[in-house]
Amino acid sequence: MSKRSPGLRRMQRRKTYTKVFAVFIILLFLFISVFPFVWVLTTSFKPSSEIFGSRTAFNMIAENPTTEHYQYVLGKGLPKAIFNSFIVSIVTTLYVIFVATLSAYLISRFRFKGKRMLLGLVLAVSMFPQMIIVGPIYNMFYGLGILNSYWVSLAYSSITLPTAVWIMVAHFKSIPISLEEAARIDGAGMMRTLSHIIFPLAAPGVFTTAIMTFIASWNEYLLTFTLNTDKEFHTVPVAITSLRTQFTILWGQIAAATVIVIVPTLIIVLLFQKQIISGITSGAVKE
């Protein structure tokens, strides 16, 4: 036993060093991830003189905290932009989830020629740079006369629907097809099987896809900037970019607006983090 003790001590030291190193890496990653938000938060309470001052520009805490930046952005139409973002994001999420759920079910359950090619095409479409599709979408919206409207949510589906379909296909594949066969044997029709068996089992995946679609729509900038030039229909990302004068970028106001904009998505993630994690992992293993 005494001969093994030095080796055991070395192994224990190695395990300890490994744990310390792992904790250090995790803390470093968390610091890198959280620091930008902390900096924006502290900047939002700094007066402009401290933001641009050579002595106080890099201070983490404001010497003379103020809420003037929040008062400015709340009086400059940011609440309307937040309302627009909610409308567009919710409509896009409902539409995309409905189409993606039905499409993913058909792709995962039925056999047809070109199925793999179709899935590859869906994945390829999700990788298209937005600059490629903005022109054709603008021409289509112009021809239909729906520029400067909430119809921009249809354009949002071009960037969110392919990813949603791809995710939902993985979740439907994880549901055993034997459950559907048993339901048919018991006399359940297609719609009853879908509504009472398949969709409830796929709920975690649907919920996760909905959250991801909502966040992607909330953060979308280019399509709204191109299709909705009227300020009445600007969403939050576009409204933030307008916080500038002819010669100056209003960093304090931008920081305040950013904090206000982050709050809704942060609350959603914190409230539904268990459902999101459950949805992500539920489609990882195929039964």
pLDDT tens-digit readout, 103-136 = 888 888 877 787 788 878 877 877 777 788 888 8
pLDDT in tens, 49-62: 888 876 777 787 87
Does 13 share its domain with 76? no
Are the C-beta atoms of 268 and 251 separated by less than 8 Å? no
Q: Which domain holds residue 12?
A: 5-43
Q: Give me the residues paired with residue 244 across strands.
A: 249
- Confidence category of residue 1, pLDDT binned at 50, 70, 90: very low
Q: What percent of the chain has pLDDT over 70?
A: 92
| Together in a domain, 181 and 265 | yes
Average pLDDT over residues 135-149: 90
Residue (of 257, 271, 262, 264) closest to 73 by Cα position: 257
Query: What is the rounded average pLDDT for all residues in the chain?
Result: 82
φ, ψ for residue 203, nearest 5 deg = -55, -45
Does one domain contain both 188 and 91?
yes
Residue 25: which pLDDT band, with cuts at 50, 70 and 90? Answer: very high
Per-residue pLDDT reduced to its tens digit, 190-238: 777 777 777 788 877 888 888 889 888 988 888 888 999 888 899 988 8
Residue 76 and residue 36 in one domain: no
- Among residues 205, 98, 86, the alpha carbon closest in space to that of 161 is found at 98
Least confidently predicted of 152-161, 177-186, 227-236? 177-186
- C-alpha 55/C-alpha 261 separation (Å) is 29
pLDDT at 276: 63
Q: What percent of the chain stands above pLDDT 90? A: 9
Separation CA 188–CA 198 (nearest Å): 12
Question: 113 versus 86: which is more confidently predicted?
Answer: 86
Do residue 132 and residue 239 come from a single domain?
A: yes
Phi/psi class of residue 175: alpha, beta or left (left: φ > 0; alpha: ψ in -120 to 50)? beta
pLDDT value at residue 83: 92
Residue 176: helix, strand or coil by DSSP? Answer: coil
Answer yes or no: do 140 and 15 share one domain: no
* CATH number of the domain that residue 254 is part of: 1.10.3720.10
Token duo for residue 285: 């293993």
Specify whether 277 is located in the same domain as 192. Answer: yes
What is the count of structural domains for the chain? Answer: 2
Distances 55 to 27, 35, 65 between C-alpha atoms, Å = 29, 20, 16
Q: Does residue 248 sit in the same domain as residue 187?
A: yes
Nearest residue to 171 (alpha-carbon basis) of 189, 193, 198: 198
Which of 24-38, 91-105, 113-127 shows the lowest per-residue confidence on average (mean pLDDT)?
A: 113-127
Q: Would 113 be classed as within a structural domain? A: yes
Q: Is the pLDDT of residue 278 over 70?
A: no
**Residue type present at position 117:** M
Nearest to 204 by CA among 286, 279, 98, 96: 279
